[in-house]
Structure 1
Amino acid sequence: MQRLACLLLFVGLTAPQIAQAADKPNIVFILADDMGYSDLGCYGGDIATPNLDQLAANGLKFTQFYNTARCWPTRAALMTGYYAQQVHRDALPNLGGGGRGKRQEWARLLPDFLAPHGYRNYHSGKWHIDGKVLPAGFDRSLDMRNQGNFFSAKGNAEDDEPVQPAEDESDYYATTAVVDHAIDCLKEHDEKYSDQPFFHYVAFICPHFPLHAKPEDIAKYHDKYVDGWDKMRETRFARQQELGLLETELSALEPEVGPPYHFPEALKKLGSGEVNRPIPWSDLTAEQQRFQATKMAIHAAMVDRMDQEIGRLLDQLKAMDELDNTIIFFASDNGASAEIMVRHGGHDPSAEPGSAATYLCLGPGFSSACNTPFRRHKTWVHEGGISTPLIVHWPAGIQAKGEMRHTPSHMIDIVPTIMDVLDIEKPTVWNGQPIPPAPGKSLLPAFAEDKTIDREMLWWLHEGNQAVRIGDWKLVKAKGDQWALYDLSTDRAEAHDLAKVNPEKLIEMKLTWGRQMKQIMDLAEQTAEKKPANKAAAKE
């Protein structure tokens, strides 16, 4: 504790925006699932998110924070500080990995490093990391394994044991249940362990498909999106410009780019209102416009409800007098999703949209709008697939209020940031095995001022989609396409390919991507099983 106070005092002397914290801070990381960059009000959105907006107003907003473009690799990067491919949690050629890959023994999760320093560790919500939760270092867990029905607890696990759903689940809603469990953990902590700090990982499933929401939440947005995705993109972009969020133009819609996976049988089940391409809104039939606007209303309702539940979580922290000395992070695991499918219980077209009997997905039209101003969607490593809000709120440690941070940063940076804040040295050996250096960087200096964190690169690979960012330059390609080169200092929309006019930079960055790929392959190969990636897992 003395070392932490000295660290914060030192930073306070060199950067006045950081305040001293007398005690070890608590840490809460809140993760949304399939939420677009512009879905929050404080990032230009039209959905009511007052609680998250207030956290941003009293903290920091990162404008260039990245995920991995997909659910499970992001969770691996977040909890280990490594690129998911390094720890077998995203596929590499001929090495397997992916949604069913198993981490190496040394690839420990954050709680294993916090527990020796007195932290209690809690998990509420989606897991999607290999292995069970408690052996990964958590003291309590609600594992939301049921990701196909927001209105039932069937299939979930608490402390790694199956949950027995209530006979009457008429009041059950998964997003609310996540925070019910989180609050229960916090109340117990306050009663029994108030002398210890805590880390709480709150991982919502929403607004991931199926689009399920409470009727009263859907009603708030029923007619809000009838003007279509073209208008929504323009309105959100204008608001982002007013906020000074980023310097770019609005990306163009790509009518030729549909869902990443094609399920023709699902389209038949969903009926003539479904559209699997982001064509101009005016080209849709009246039936299609109503159907699409309704789906977006449900997506908005899911985000709205998540914010309401986050408000309850914040109220609990206030009741414990812990809000000021809790570092709260909020982000999304990937961009909004263009996927269209029907899984789990199927889809009843006669049922009320958003109810348990329906299975709807947002699709590429409104996904493009949710990812404003960027191109593409979840699974792609263009900006729309990998860009997420990052809100950081910590009144006891950050004096800045409502400021933006523009440093390029990534999920791999969260572990080193937390370790740096706490002045914890990560072990170099685990059970006799050396722990390889991790690629993440601490963002603690950016808590004090808007400065760029020095790093060689940020790197992506997912299902053949590839990218690397060095400074403001980004090299990117979708699987099967040619490399494209963009200057993100003015073109986050990835609208102006500079590959032909700057071939030297193109070659330099291709070589850099390849070198990083080789290093990642070398590390992953040490303990990899020689088998192809599991295709079924890739569809999760």
Structure 2
Amino acid sequence: MSSRNYTRRDFIKAMGLGATALAVPGCTGSPQLRARNYRRPNIVLIMADDMGYSDIGCYGGEINTPNLNGLAANGLRFTQFYNTARCCPTRASLMTGLYQHQAGVGHMMDDKGYDSYRGDLSNNCVTIAEVLKQAGYSTYMSGKWHVTKHIKPEGPKHNWPRQRGYDRFYGTITGAGSFYDPTTLCRGNTYVTPENDPEYQPETYYYTDAISDNATRYVREHCEGSAAKPFFMYVAYTAAHWPMHALEKDITKYKGKYDEGYACYRERRLKRLRKMGLVSKDWAMSEQPGDWESVKHKEWESRCMEVYAAMVDNMDQGIGRIVAELKKQGIFDNTLILFLQDNGGCAEGMGRGENINDKWRSGVKDRKPMGKDELQPHIWPPMKTRDGRPVLGGPSV
């Protein structure tokens, strides 16, 4: 992959030249004729969740991400791109173009008593979907919302995607949860259950695939019914946020790959990043907390890394399906695709306690199976599966 360093000033200049070049073909004649010959681009904005800088292949990672690598090879890779340290503030800034405090989401989804920390997207701002919709774009979203504290099915829903500019929405209102049975899963403004949505059957369901499939459907159905209009589509994956949930077919690809531990992969990634020109050769490796030889549950840690890689791999497969649909519909060359992460890799350490399952088992008082029209209320244990079993995790499982 070729590499060239750009400053932000270079990028702005290049974008300006690009816009000029787009206007050149067929620019003779009246302004009305020029306007008819100019097609506004579609925009696909893709966000990953809690993923590290060097995880994907085009940033030095060993995880199999051929679709993202292909987009990067024919696009621009940023090295000085800034987001925030938490899920919600990044999403609030991304949706509004404001600093997160101006958007009312200075931290997470709890009201701290100040306008900058309401835990709810401010009504004094507009979202990118609202602006583009007014400009004639169709607007679609598939995935994680996480910019409102109001998550109950009865509402209020003034800050849900459909009320903030999106024509169609499939995804979760809250920020995390099971990939097999996610809480706050909605289609439009309606909570999804196995009863009201035949596509949602927890025995076979996987949220990352559902995000990708609904995004692909939006592209296809837009071209079938609204081809004359440009569209904006926000695809917000929950991969690779905890819990570590992946499909066995994807995990199998990485079986045994991480048995060597963390240190060797850190060194290999840094070497590749330097070779790609994405980090300075003068930058030293940061100190590693702990030592692999002293890790108590090596097999479990290795499994966690395998599952994490599988989650990212599956997301890349889904992005490949979206790109394939854009090409099938003949609109790929007129579509701007952006890929970013909401923050860096997760350091929260969820589910690592030695005796967590004792607490989780005792926390599930009702072991009755859930009904087909019953909502999954929890994002984290103590919680139960649809057939009434406690959800367990950690190194003792």
TM-score under structure 2 length normalisation: 0.74
Kindly state the Cα deviation for residue 321 of structure 1 after the two structures are TM-superposed: 0.7
Is residue 36 of structure 1 aligned with residue 26 of structure 2?
A: no
Corresponding position of 2:78: 62
Is residue 175 of structure 1 aligned with residue 204 of structure 2?
A: no
Q: Aligned ranges for residues 66-465 of structure 1 at < 5 Å?
A: 66-91=82-107, 95=114, 97-98=116-117, 101-130=119-148, 131-145=159-173, 147-152=176-181, 155-165=184-194, 166=198, 168-247=201-280, 248-253=282-287, 255=289, 279-285=290-296, 288-342=297-351, 344-346=380-382, 357-359=391-393
Which is worse superposed, 33-42 or 127-136?
A: 127-136
Three-state SS of the structure 2 residue aligned to 1:62 is: coil
Corresponding position of 1:368: none
Aligned Cα root-mean-square deviation (Å): 2.6
Distance 1:359 1:109 in 2: 38
The amino acid of 2:189's aligned partner reads D
Q: Deviations over 1:240-267 (max 9, x none)?
A: 1111111142333253xxxxxxxxxxxx
Contact 1:118–1:197 (CA<8 Å) still a contact in 2? yes
Query: Structure 1 200/17 Cα, relative in aligned 2: closer, same or farther at 3 Å?
Result: closer
Corresponding position of 1:454: none
The amino acid of 1:323's aligned partner reads F
Contact 2:67–2:316 (CA<8 Å) still a contact in 1? yes
Distance 2:394 2:39 in 1: 46
The amino acid of 1:95's aligned partner reads Y
Query: Structure 1 95/197 Cα, relative in aligned 2: closer, same or farther at 3 Å?
Result: same
Corresponding position of 1:409: none
Three-state SS of the structure 2 residue aligned to 1:330 is: strand
Contact 2:212–2:318 (CA<8 Å) still a contact in 1? yes
Q: Aligned ranges for residues 474-489 of structure 1 at < 5 Å?
A: none
Q: Percent identity?
A: 40
Query: Structure 1 16/185 Cα, relative in aligned 2: closer, same or farther at 3 Å?
Result: closer
Corresponding position of 2:64: 48
Which is worse superposed, 161-170 or 313-322?
A: 161-170
Q: Deviations over 1:366-387 (max 9, x none)?
A: xxxxxxxxxxxxxxxxxxxxxx
Contact 1:154–1:164 (CA<8 Å) still a contact in 2? no
Contact 2:142–2:215 (CA<8 Å) still a contact in 1? yes
Distance 2:19 2:141 in 1: 31
Query: Structure 1 19/44 Cα, relative in aligned 2: closer, same or farther at 3 Å?
Result: farther
Contact 1:25–1:327 (CA<8 Å) still a contact in 2? yes
Corresponding position of 1:405: none
Distance 2:64 2:20 in 1: 30
Contact 1:120–1:197 (CA<8 Å) still a contact in 2? yes
The amino acid of 2:80's aligned partner reads Q
Q: Deviations over 1:172-227 (max 9, x none)?
A: 10000001111221222111110000000000001000000001111111211111
Distance 1:17 1:280 in 2: 51
Kindly state the Cα deviation for residue 315 of structure 1 after the two structures are TM-superposed: 0.7
TM-score under structure 1 length normalisation: 0.55
Q: Deviations over 1:248-300 (max 9, x none)?
A: 42333253xxxxxxxxxxxxxxxxxxxxxxx0112224xx2211111011110
Q: Deviations over 1:52-90 (max 9, x none)?
A: 000000111011111111100000010111110112101
Query: Structure 1 135/318 Cα, relative in aligned 2: closer, same or farther at 3 Å?
Result: same
Kindly state the Cα deviation for residue 345 of structure 1 after the two structures are TM-superposed: 3.6
Three-state SS of the structure 2 residue aligned to 1:200 is: strand
Three-state SS of the structure 2 residue aligned to 1:181 is: helix
Q: Which runs of 5+ in 2 are unaligned?
A: 1-12, 24-37, 149-158, 352-378, 385-389
Corresponding position of 2:26: none
What is the aligned residue count? Answer: 318
Query: Structure 1 148/332 Cα, relative in aligned 2: closer, same or farther at 3 Å?
Result: same
Three-state SS of the structure 2 residue aligned to 1:66 is: coil
The amino acid of 1:301's aligned partner reads A
Three-state SS of the structure 2 residue aligned to 1:61 is: coil
Q: Which runs of 5+ in 1 are unaligned?
A: 1-10, 256-278, 349-355, 362-540
Query: Structure 1 280/18 Cα, relative in aligned 2: closer, same or farther at 3 Å?
Result: farther
Kindly state the Cα deviation for residue 346 of structure 1 after the two structures are TM-superposed: 4.3
Question: Quick check: which one's strand share is greater?
Answer: 1
Contact 2:242–2:350 (CA<8 Å) still a contact in 1? no
